[in-house]
Structure 1
Amino acid sequence: MVQRRLSQLDSTWPAALPRRLGAMIYDGFLVAAIWIGIAIAHVAFFRFVVGQPADEIGVGSLEVWSLRLLLVISAMVFFTFSWTRGGMTLGMQTWRLRVQTVDGYTITPLQSVVRCLIAWVSLAAFGLGYWWVLFDSERRSWPDIVSNTRTVVLPKR
């Protein structure tokens, strides 16, 4: 994948915690909607394709682990696609945020996957990875630091 040079590099600044949280909440609703669709399709597959009785769906470990895996993969695909395409998810567009490399390019798929994995760790640590923005001189979160990216605020048009 070819990285693109992003615009407005001179007029951006590091994103503060409230904006990041706003975008995360917005994107959380989008991911929840995707997950609901996947869960419905998953149940329908086991009910109508596999032929399981309705009261047995979700009881076996295959159903549970396959659904969990689908949910994690779908969230990572959503963020990876959004970040590598233009540096923004829909929630980030609303809050005028963008993820970019340190030198102002779109991030790579590998950087995006690393961001996703560290985001799970950051949230599992009671959000400490995002609270880190308050203490870092460059307002970087753990996903920013580990993936060598920056989350910036775009100016108003």
Structure 2
Amino acid sequence: MPATIAQSELPSTPPIAPSRLRRFACMMYEGVLLFGVIFLAGYLFDTLTQSRSGLMLRHSRQVFLFLAMGVYFLACWRRGGQTLPMKTWNIRLTDRGGQPLRGSRMVVRYVLLWPLPLLTALLIGALSRAMGWPSLDLLIVAAPFSIFIWTWFDPHKQFLHDRLLGTELHDLRQPA
């Protein structure tokens, strides 16, 4: 009598990660929506603090905007693991077991999104000053895309912050 293998004993196939192009398009769409979030949060900050210039209370403003973006992402991820652009591009954020993220993992993921782009921006600024070519500062627009570098080394094409935290982006499109 042949031995049967229980469903739980079968090797699970890794989730299909969205292509880099789809993640890039999602990121661009996210930037458009974040413009509105930042605009409204900045307006609220200026109204509440009566600041007359973007340089007044600069560091407080940056913290407030960082928190406002965090609230946006956490609110969206909490409801199904998707922001509007992620819904549009059929991408969902889950843990490694395919379950929605909860609580502190969402907060840690948001915080872990920032170090690599910020380090890239600092490197671009330092390179610009060291070479004496102010035009190199234009490369700062490439800093957010530094998060894609790890996807070429990761076996499941996940971002570094997702690998570290145990989260994954899933392609929700039906396989052909």
Question: Could you list the runs of 5+ residues in structure 1 that have no partner in the other structure?
Answer: 1-9
Partner of 2:146: 128
Residue-by-residue CA offset, 1:32-91 (whole Å, 9 max, x unaligned): 1111011112222233xxxx6x4xx4454xx21221111000111111111122010011
Equivalent runs, 1:2-151 vs 2, <5 Å: 13-47=16-50, 54=52, 57-60=53-56, 63-124=57-118, 125=120, 126=143, 127-151=145-169
Alignment-mate amino acid for residue 118 of structure 1? L
CA radius of gyration, larger in: 2
Residue-by-residue CA offset, 1:10-33 (whole Å, 9 max, x unaligned): 8x6212211111111111111111
1:151 is paired with a residue whose SS is strand
Query: Percent identical across equivalent pairs?
Result: 23
Alignment-mate amino acid for residue 113 of structure 1? V
Paired residues in the alignment total 140
Relative contact order, higher structure (CA 8 A, sep 6+): 1
Q: What TM-score results when the alignment is normalised by the length of structure 1?
A: 0.78
Contact 1:132/1:141 (8 A) holds in 2: yes
Q: What TM-score results when the alignment is normalised by the length of structure 2?
A: 0.70
RMSD of equivalent CA atoms: 2.4
1:14 is paired with a residue whose SS is coil
